[in-house]
Amino acid sequence: MSDACKVSVERRDDVAILWTDGYINNQGGEEIAREAYKQLDSGARALVLNLERTRIVNSIGISILIEVLEKVMDRKGSLVFCGLTPTIDKTFRIMGLAQYARIFPSQDEALQAVRAGA
């Protein structure tokens, strides 16, 4: 399907920025999880998940993001989100993800926060 989620990564020292592009469902969520765990295993301390090129995240995709968040928290790392559409932001709040992970309007603000130890 053409809307399948693609994940690209940029590493800046111990911070990994993951960009998603497309629909985040179970496959999209698993793709993000794979990349996130790869970054954690190679020494990333913080993950910034930039969703500005994603317009739909379904509840299965969010449940996988929650698993990623739990794993990051277990490792005393941090995971922050940025670039959310209002609908994705609202869904993250409905499911409680916003209670456990910080959400920033822009990538710059997200990076500033993780560098400050958010």
Which positions touch other proteins (CB under 8 A)? 1, 3-4, 23, 25, 27, 55-56, 58-60, 62-63, 66-67, 70, 85-87, 90-91, 94-97, 99-100
Compute the least distance from the CB of residue 95 to other proteins, in Å.
6
Shortest Å, Cβ 37 to other proteins? 17
**Contact status, residue 39 vs residue 9, Cβ threshold 8 Å:** yes
Q: How far is CA 3 from the centre of its chain?
A: 18
User: How far is the C-alpha of 53 from the C-alpha of 42, rounded, in Å?
Assistant: 26
Q: Which is nearer to other proteins, 91 or 111 (CB)?
A: 91
Task: Quickly count: other Cβ atoms within 10 Å of residue 93's Cβ.
Answer: 12
